Structure 1
Amino acid sequence: MSVEGLSVNFATIKQGGSFGTLVDACLAHGITTISPWREQVHGVGLEEAARIVSQNGIRLSGHCRGGFFPAADAQGRQAAIEDNKRAVDEAAAMNADCLVLVVGGLPAGSKDIVGARQMVEDGMAALLPYARQAGIPLAIEPLHPFYAADRACFNTLKQSLDLCDTLGAGTGVAIDVYHVWWDPDLKEQVARAGRNGQILAHHICDWLVPTTDPLNDRGMMGDGVIDLKGFRRMIEKAGFSGPQEVEIFSHNWNSRPIDEVLSTVVERFKTVC
């Protein structure tokens, strides 16, 4: 029996092997919605990945990831756009709900975060007609401010939604509790995104105290301080009815057997989310 409303991002179970092996593991636990990473798809080839998805009736709540638009020169920025077009093609081949964008931080040697944000806007504007033609929405994922320099210079829902409003149709946000739970404007901005149909994906995990590694110390749902039930009520009140996608970057959980991880994910999803 499938676990309704649950998606598993393959970062959570990356220790489990190839794309097909990860899909099989999810299916064994009743999980029929996933979000793979590009390198996992590349490992088996796009044609084979698309076959596996179609043959098993799999839904992709997102494809990870595009973005990283800023670069030190025009050649680098154009290369990023071309790579993002390939990511759009992959998402379309697997009928993903959206392409998740980690937009990128400061180019090497730069201290100009305003300029980096402009490069993100310009890159997305260049990519957007291609994504619209392919039918793949672009989901900006605002990342916690400690990622502003190296991964994402868009760090709040408001910033991201302002950019979506500028760019127009075919854009929205991926709302990850790990990155935005602290935001004092969260309720207002989630409601805004819902009114405008801009919530494209919703990622869950937990914030551990203390956090020893901001990148690879995310918690399993229920092990930290995020009010996950409250967050779910808020995002559903805003009109989002899609899956909650479990995305846990964790040396701890990535060192455990995949069946243990998935069993825990399903149990916590049912009890604390």
Structure 2
Amino acid sequence: MRDFSTDHSLLSINTATVRKQGDLLAIIEACARHGIQAISPWRDQVATVGLDAAVAAVKTHGLKLSGYCRGGMFPADASKRQEARDDNRRAVDEAAALGAACLVLVVGGLPHYSRPGSAVSHDLAGARAQVEDGIAELLDYARAARMPLAIEPLHPMYAADRACVNTLEQALDICDRLDPGRSGALGVAADVYHIWWDPNLFCDIRRAGRERLLAYHVCDWLVPTRDLLTDRGMMGDGVIELKKIRAAVEAEGFAGFSEVEIFSELDWWQRPMDEVLATCIERHKSVV
């Protein structure tokens, strides 16, 4: 297990963590000021400042991208499927332009939530089938762009609206069917907020192996959790066995960044950006 205690060279900041404190250019400048060497931006933040400006800022400050958020939201009715296809191809292109290590896929839930305007459907199995079909189609495009796709399973509470892939096992099953040769083109983003509870977690981490573990996200699960979307905890403030999970991921050969991703309407989004980043650095060294 790598020693994080003396520096934060392997810390990445998912830019959602400080999205309320400034635009992407301000976040990039602040990260550089704190000696943070990697980020994972969100597409809406890139769109706000413009892709060219985002690419230039990343290059100016010498940052790496541990990932790019996000592609996915595949389920749609017939009227919205071309929209989903085009949107995901643009996401691949943006990730490639920014030099991201992977494009993170939040796969979507029922069609009318994934692609607003789609007809209402309660067919969860059908949504999961559309997800796999969508990834299969996107995979060819992503291979040509040399952009790995990382399926991020989300906690089951998001099955209807955000992601009907809810465990590492489900994500890995898709990977094995679509990329049986474990080429590195398709894998998973393991976010502790979504998978810490799973009794099969450590077996599935071993199953994933180095080839499938494309991204690793950290935060903490608060008790009580006041909002299931926007009340994630800072690492060390909750109940997740962070060091144990990282040890398991690294035992399989994962050598990438530990990416902090915190949605916190009631706490961390209310604090100054410099305070949040300084705390991320301290917790990365002490509890991650």
TM-score category (smaller protein): over 0.9
Please identify runs of 4+ aligned residues in structure 1 that moved more than 2 A: none
2:47 matched residue in structure 1: 42
What's the secondary structure of 2:259's corresponding residue?
Answer: strand
- Note the 1:1-273 alignment, pairs <5 A: 3-71=8-76, 73-108=77-112, 109-168=120-179, 169=183, 170-194=185-209, 197-251=211-265, 252-273=267-288
The answer (yes or no) to whether the contact 1:2–1:31 under 8 Å persists in 2 is no
What's the secondary structure of 2:187's corresponding residue?
Answer: strand
Unaligned ranges ≥5, structure 2: 1-5, 113-119
State the one-letter code of the partner of 1:74.
A
State the one-letter code of the partner of 2:127.
A
Tell me how far apart the structure 2 counterparts of residues 107 and 133 of structure 1 sit (CA, whole Å).
28
Tell me how far apart the structure 2 counterparts of residues 43 and 11 of structure 1 sit (CA, whole Å).
14
The answer (yes or no) to whether the contact 1:10–1:247 under 8 Å persists in 2 is yes
1:170-209: per-residue Cα shift (whole Å, max 9, x none)? 11000000000011110110011115x1000000000000
State the one-letter code of the partner of 1:35.
S
State the one-letter code of the partner of 2:140.
P
Q: Number of residues paired by the alignment?
A: 271
Please report the RMSD computed on the Cα atoms of aligned residues, expressed in angstroms.
1.2
What's the secondary structure of 1:21's corresponding residue?
Answer: helix
The answer (yes or no) to whether the contact 2:8–2:284 under 8 Å persists in 1 is no
- Report the TM-score, using the length of structure 1 for normalisation: 0.97
The answer (yes or no) to whether the contact 1:2–1:30 under 8 Å persists in 2 is no
1:250-269: per-residue Cα shift (whole Å, max 9, x none)? 11100111011011100011
What's the secondary structure of 1:74's corresponding residue?
Answer: coil
What's the secondary structure of 2:235's corresponding residue?
Answer: coil
Deviation at 1:2, TM superposition (A): 7.0
Deviation at 1:69, TM superposition (A): 0.3
1:82-121: per-residue Cα shift (whole Å, max 9, x none)? 1010010000001100000000001222111110001001
1:155-179: per-residue Cα shift (whole Å, max 9, x none)? 0000000001111141100000000
What's the secondary structure of 1:100's corresponding residue?
Answer: strand
State the one-letter code of the partner of 1:220.
M
- Report the TM-score, using the length of structure 2 for normalisation: 0.92
Deviation at 1:22, TM superposition (A): 0.5
Tell me how far apart the structure 2 counterparts of residues 91 and 16 of structure 1 sit (CA, whole Å).
23
What's the secondary structure of 2:20's corresponding residue?
Answer: helix
Unaligned ranges ≥5, structure 1: none
